[in-house]
Amino acid sequence: MLILVEAGWVMRDVGLVGADGLWQVWAGLAVPLGGAPLNTSVVDLALLGLYAGAMGASARPVATGAFGAVGAVTLLLRAPTVLILGGQWNGRLDIQGQLVLTAGAEVVGAVALLSIAVNRRRVLPGWDPAPPRPAAGVLAGLLLMIVALMTAVWQLDRIYGTGLSERTQAQPPGFFWRTVTGGYLVNSLLGTPFGWLSWSTVALCAAAGAAALRRTLVARPLGIAVGWLLVPLAVPVIATAKPPAVTVGQFGAGFAAVAAVVVALLLVPRAEGPFSDLDESGYGTQYGSTAYDADATATQDTQTMPAYGDWSAAPPPPGPPPGVAGYLRPPPRRR
């Protein structure tokens, strides 16, 4: 249902400006006639990809982490949209009312995905994604931490005008908070305010990086979800670059896009089989459980038999004497 809702608004914008025009607006290369924003942005493209990935993983052990990661990203990006559009809604089911209901439904869907992930983990305790391999987890975590740090420094430079980028003057008092609450720089009606989106990206990258460094169970789905989110968000910044005059922000966006691809390749689990990823105990994981379960085999009847060399138990009864049925004679030789 979340995919259908997002796809409906995208197709509505395609009907307004065409597919090529929509891509140009998403990439920041053009604005609609009259300057009014469209309904969607690259954030909707990112959410469409996340919803499709979660739906594809719904029947696999990674569904628990995928639902939780997608729910957290959706809740973080759509909550301010509900507050901004809902505060100006007059209760009518016009275009603004439809947008409010869409954003509210996506927030409800995000909460539902988070609750499903929690309940699924409680009911199926073994159905969790395997943690990343040590080397892959460290490298992916460091890349995500670097992206979080670069994005934070870039935003602080935009606020205070420290001279690290093309901006040399500080923003007016209260300008940043107006960008967080949607007063400025909202490039679509369903879009997330620029300030909120930037610092949400910092928080998501830092959380995914910490999870990858610690090799937690949510490291893979959260890192892949954040990596997919970084690529569409970097498109408008990279598309407006004019080499060789590349700004710090454009360089950071390019680095974030490349790092996102590397992180996804590092965290994607290998195929199940003899060369699959290993869990903490060293056994290959398949469908969320180890190949050997000591607790289960401890209840088998073979554990009650005397061990080899244990003469404390009664010896077995003697067999029949030679020549009696019960012993196999060698076959007679043919002459």
Residues of the chain by 3-state class (helix, strand, coil), percent to 5 = 60, 5, 40
- State the first-to-last Cα distance of the chain, in angstroms, to the nearest integer: 85
Contacts of 272 (CB under 8 A, 6+ apart): 284, 286, 287
What is the C-alpha separation between 123 and 127, in angstroms, rounded? 9
Pick the residue with more confidence: 300 or 40?
40
Q: Tell me: pLDDT of 278 over 60.
A: no
What is the C-alpha separation between 94 and 135, in angstroms, rounded? 53
Are 235 and 254 in contact, with CB atoms under 8 Å apart?
no
**DSSP secondary structure letter of residue 290:** E
Confidence at 328, pLDDT banded by 50, 70, 90: very low
Looking up tokens 């995905």 gives 113
And the tokens for 74?
A: 């959706």
Looking up tokens 């990674």 gives 62
Share of the chain above pLDDT 90, in %: 39
Tell me the whole-structure pTM to 2 decimals: 0.76
- By CB neighbour count within 10 A (0-12 exposed, 13-18 middle, 19+ buried), where does 110 fall? buried
